[in-house]
Amino acid sequence: MFKKFQDILKDLFTFVGEGGKLTDFNVGSALRTILEAVAAITEEVWYQLQFFVYRFFLSTSQGEWIDRRLNDFGMPRIEGSAAYGLITAGRDSPSPLSILISAGTIFQDESGELQYITQKDAILNIGDSTVDIEAQAADVGSDYNLPAGTVLKQSGIAISGLEWGKIKLMGGGADIESDEDYVNRVPDYFDSLSRGTGPAIAYAASTVKGVKSVTLKENYPSKGWFTIYIDDGSGVANETLLQSVRAVLEDYRAFTVHYIVDTAKLRDFTAQVQVICYTDVINADELKLDVRSAIVKYVNALKMAQPLYLSDLIYLARAIDGVENVRVIAPIEDIMPAEDELLRTTSEKVVIV
């Protein structure tokens, strides 16, 4: 295991501290500043050595040997995480009695493939028609980051008086890192060892469990600062995740780096798309629903600040069997989100004509 910044810095503190004369290692002290500079330079040497070793043997590794060798560099595979958020359960009219939704109640999407388990008891009170319930996905994966408004149904024995469920907010679901993505992350990891740079800070934030994408704005809100925007898949990362990111950055950053961690801002996407089907299509209305579902899924998979090109929507729709031609009526131009913006939509916001 090659030494990294914090390990080197601790060794320097120990070495100097044992002398007994210089002991002020507080943040901002002249001694700490000097030692951190030395540690950063020393780490660069380790960085260059690691890069050489990587180029020498990692490209020949396969399967579990990838994990073994990258773990030697202090770079474990990113584990998958289960989505967590809120489900709104309710009925179309005020409830005539109190309804208990016990912890462990299972809701699922229309296909039955994606299930969510309630984490706490909740009560739909007399006279109310809705109640929000904390829930977690039954498995890891980004597919569970369903958009707000997605209709759910109860699994198993239905609770009497409860008529429907919907996703209110769901995010943090992530897939287990594939071999290809794992290896492709290596150059970014080695670049991140050179602390004090934007890519290093962004990389550190991206390794936190539950983070789906990261963007970074340099010299903002003022010179010498970074603002890091975090997306957990829902577009509204909770404070717990933001605190986890801050903890990683505090242990990871160089002494000259100041930062702010903030959540992404949701930007609604609405569209009107004309779909022309081939004449031999039996059920044109059903085909158009497939096109709408494909567009919704595509938009909700976009990462923070990722542009949406109208040509991609057209290509996506025309790739569906039975579609002859497609015209995007609205929007009229490509959408370019800001650094902190995340495009999201629902079926109601995508109109197919």
Please write the tens of the pLDDT for every residue from 192-231.
Answer: 766 667 777 888 899 898 898 899 888 888 877 889 999 9
Residue 188 predicted with pLDDT over 70: yes
Which residue type, as a one-letter code, is found at position 252?
Y
CATH topology agreement for domains 82-171 and 194-263:
no
Find, among 238, 105, 109, the residue nearest to 171 by Cα: 238
- Residue 202 has a CB neighbour count (10 Å cut-off) of 18
Q: Where are the domains of the chain?
A: 5-56, 82-171, 194-263, 267-352
Q: Determine the pLDDT at residue 295.
A: 95
Q: Are 92 and 129 in contact (CB under 8 A)?
A: yes
Q: Is residue 155 scored above 70 in pLDDT?
A: yes
What is the spatial distance between Cα 325 and Cα 275, in angstroms, rounded to a whole number?
6
Angle at 313 between CA 307 and CA 315, to 5 degrees: 120
Q: What is the pLDDT of residue 242?
A: 93
Q: What is the mean pLDDT of the chain?
A: 85
CATH number at 82-171 = 2.40.30
Separation between Cα atoms, residue 121 and residue 12, nearest integer Å: 52
Q: 311: which 2 tokens? A: 């040509």
3-state secondary structure of 98: coil
Contact 236, 169 (CB under 8 A): yes
Task: Give residues with Cβ within 8 angstroms of 317, minimum separation 6.
Answer: 273, 275, 291, 294, 295, 323, 326
Mean of the pLDDT values across residues 285-312? 93
pLDDT of residue 73: 72
Distance CA 337, CA 188 (A): 24
Position 31 pLDDT exceeds 90: no
Architecture of domain 194-263: 2-Layer Sandwich (3.30)
pLDDT interval class at 156 (50, 70, 90): confident
Sheet holding 350-352, edge to edge: 323-330, 271-277, 350-352
Predicted TM-score (pTM) of this structure:
0.64
- Strand pairing report for 213-218 and 258-263: unpaired
